Structure 1
Amino acid sequence: MSAYNNVRDLELVLDGYLNQLDNDFSLCIADDGSTHEVTDLIQKYSQTNLTIRHIWHEDLGFRRAAILNKAIKSSTADHIIFTDSDCIPSPHFVADHRKFASTEHYTVGIRVYLKPYLSNCFRNGSLTPSRLFNGFWLLSQSLKERVSKPEQALRYPGFILPIINRLKPDLTIFGSNIAMSLDSLLKVNGLDEDFEGWGYEDTDLLWRLEQIGLTSQGSLGRCCQYHLDHKENAPNPHAFNLFKQKQEDGKIYCDNGINKKA
């Protein structure tokens, strides 16, 4: 889980991981240089039944790729789920990802967008996140324009999923909700740390995973998270050109990844 300051959102998200139906997982906070408040919060949650480790580096600007690589390197898990500290997981989140886990695919989860009013209600405690897991309530909030894409979160019965998934458009890929085997990440040397500033580090990673044969998979109503509204990061204006150049170069095992080129 990438994180940077924003303690209240992180608290809501950690509560979501406390309430997973499948609790056989460990959580790594990949901290891109937060202040001590995040450390204090993690110490608090370390006293719960969550297994948490905290990986931190100095704040030298947006270096998400670098801190995620440190987190990957610290893991002994067979499968890695990437998420963010502003995305509340559904109670089925880990269980769904486990069911999809494969060495031949990477999994794309879905995201529901909470607009400012609802996001602030959860932050100030006037609403509890458990409301999000009621599909009828979520749809009612959509009618009030307080949430977008709630239909993606409806937990459709398993027998109808093949029909729904044939009718749906392709799932949008977010770096906050993708998963793949640790082995596949090591084969491409993780994220490319040449990407500094916001944007394209995830796109580049998935492109390289596809070059070694992985394909995407996912489903509506599964692997769901709820994104708290916040000010968007300023994108790196050079990231797209860097990504296109790396595609042209065709290097699948990046030089500046988990293991650095000597």
Structure 2
Amino acid sequence: MAEMSKEIPTISLIVSTYNWPAALEKCIQSIFKQTHLPDEILIADDGSGDATQETIKQLKKDSPIPIVHVWHPDNGFRLSAIRNKAIVQAQYDYIIQIDGDIIIDKEFIKDHLALSQKDTFLCGSRVLLSQAYSAQLLNQPAIEKLNKLKFPLGSVLNSLRIPFLSKIMADRYKKNKPRALRGCNMSFWKKDLINVNGYNESIQGWGSEDAELAIRLINNGIKKRFLKFGAIAYHIFHKENNKENLPENETILFTSNRDNLRWIANGIKKTKLFY
């Protein structure tokens, strides 16, 4: 008997951004080149100014699919909150999440779909681009193909796309632990995010928001799978974010892990209910 074909879910692609329209433009342009386009793009904008607004207006004109600009006022680093707003507005079943400083390989969405399964979420890796090469890419009117000879040696492995190895390693990779993830390359079923109340908005400033969410998903019976040798993401160089809130965020993460939390009060729904 022939194997039944896998049903392809509908996709909302969430792109987070803050006041870097040049990088966002390159990111969205790489989405337009996907072999499997998402059904919509949601730009989760953590309070960017007019320049980003103008860039998004132009991108909407060029886009073959709907682009939704989800924005809130600039009140510090509130990535968890703006991602929650985008999750709520997402119209489709499966959410792929990247950052606006990421250029994605043309098979990126296809690779996420290939490993998507019920009751799982996916975490991929990234290729760190050098400062000089990043500047060169940002100055190009369009990016046709990246030059692997300019990748840092430590990132070469993350630039390899080998689909059969990707399937083999999805559940076996040695770094497949709750905290081994990159929020710039993840995917989930929307219903699974809603069932744990999304991101913890008590986490503000840089750090720990993705790991804390992953822990609650796992506590709620959603298995983490690792996307290696697929869904290649290229990270445009920028200075490190301010990490002054990291100790407080790590305390929230520790509590969620220690108490086996599945739900947090300060998420998509604001409630005191824990279970």
TM over 0.5: yes
Q: Is contact 2:169-2:226 (8 Å) kept?
A: no
Q: What amino acid does structure 2 have at the position aligned with 1:28?
A: L
Larger deviation, residues 93-102 vs 68-77: 93-102
What's the counterpart of residue 240 of structure 1?
A: 250
| Residues 195 and 201 in structure 1, CA contact (< 8 A), matched pair in contact too | yes
AA aligned to 1:41 is T
| Aligned amino acid, residue 121 of structure 2 | Y
Cα distance between partner residues in 2 of 1:216 and 1:93: 18
Correspondent of 1:8 among 2, 7, 22: 22
Paired with 2:205 and 2:221, the residues of 1 have a C-alpha distance of 28
SS at match of 2:242: coil
- 1:208 is displaced (CA, Å) by 0.1
Question: What's the CA shift string for 1:20-46, capped at 9, x where partnerless?
Answer: 110142110010000011111111111
The one-letter amino acid paired with 1:115 is: S
Q: Which residue of 1 aligns with 2:266?
A: 256
Distance 1:61 1:106, change over 3 A: same
Aligned with 1:210 (options 187, 208, 218): 218
Is the CA contact (8 Å cut-off) linking 1:103 and 1:184 kept in structure 2?
Answer: no
Determine which of 89, 93, 98 is the counterpart of 1:74: 89
Does residue 129 in structure 1 map to residue 143 in structure 2? yes
What is the RMSD of the two structures over their aligned residues, measured on CA atoms? 2.1
The 8 Å contact of residues 153 and 220 in structure 1, kept in 2 or not, is answered as: no
Instruction: Output one character per residue of 1:216-250: Cα deviation in whole Å (capped at 9) or x when no partner.
Output: 21332211110001011112131112221233343
User: TM-score of the superposition, structure 1-length normalised?
Assistant: 0.89
CA contact (8 A) 1:102 1:180 kept: no
Aligned to 2:160: 154
Percent sequence identity over aligned pairs = 30
Asked if the contact 2:171/2:225 (under 8 Å) is kept, the reply is no
Question: CA–CA distance in 1 between the matches of 2:167 and 2:37?
Answer: 27
Identify the residue that residue 141 of structure 1 maps to in structure 2: 150
Count of matched residue pairs: 252
Structure number with greater CO (CA < 8 Å, separation at least 6) is: 1
Show the counterpart of 2:129.
114
Give the deviation of 1:109 after TM superposition.
1.5
> Which ranges of structure 1 fall in alignment gaps of 5 or more residues?
none
Q: Which residue of 2 aligns with 1:100?
A: 115
Given the alignment of the two structures, is residue 55 of structure 1 paired with residue 70 of structure 2, yes or no? yes
For 1:13 and 1:213, the matched residues in 2 are separated by: 33
Task: Indicate the structure with greater helix content.
Answer: 1
